[in-house]
Amino acid sequence: MGSCCAQSIWIKHQLEDYDIHLDNIPLTCDSTSAINLTKNPIMHSRTKHIEIRHHFIRDHVAKGECKIEYIDTNNQLADIFTKPLDRERFYVLRNELGILDFTCTT
């Protein structure tokens, strides 16, 4: 989520050169703990060793540049890029992304 946030903000700044202004870029995450850490500015004893990348996300959420939204694990399209999947799940996610199957059957 950290690298996605950084890349989204970079694209946002590039679009501003073309007079396209975006606010609250939606980022989806299936971890409620990670979402709560980005929204809660209070430092807890368990979160004192969080890496800088998590503070980076929290800062940009506080500024209103990004908005973290919950998505159910079954609807997380990024799984196709980040996890080994069985054939059936892979096909479902591939179809959700709109990727066509061009394999030739002879």
In three state form, how does the secondary structure of 3-31 look? HHHHHHHHHHHHHHCCCCCCCCEEEEECC
Domain spans of the chain? Answer: 2-71, 74-106
The Cα-based distances of 22 to 5, 56, 64, 72 in angstroms read 14, 19, 10, 25
Q: Where are the beta strands (DSSP E) in 1-106?
A: 25-29, 66-70
Q: What is the pLDDT of residues 12-33, one digit of tens each?
A: 999 999 999 888 888 888 888 8
DSSP conformation class of 65: S
CA–CA distance, 52 with 93 (Å, rounded to integer): 32
Q: What is the pLDDT of residues 49-100, one digit of tens each?
A: 566 666 788 888 888 888 888 988 888 888 888 889 999 999 988 888 888 7
Type of residue at 8? S
Whether 106 has a pLDDT exceeding 60, the answer reads no
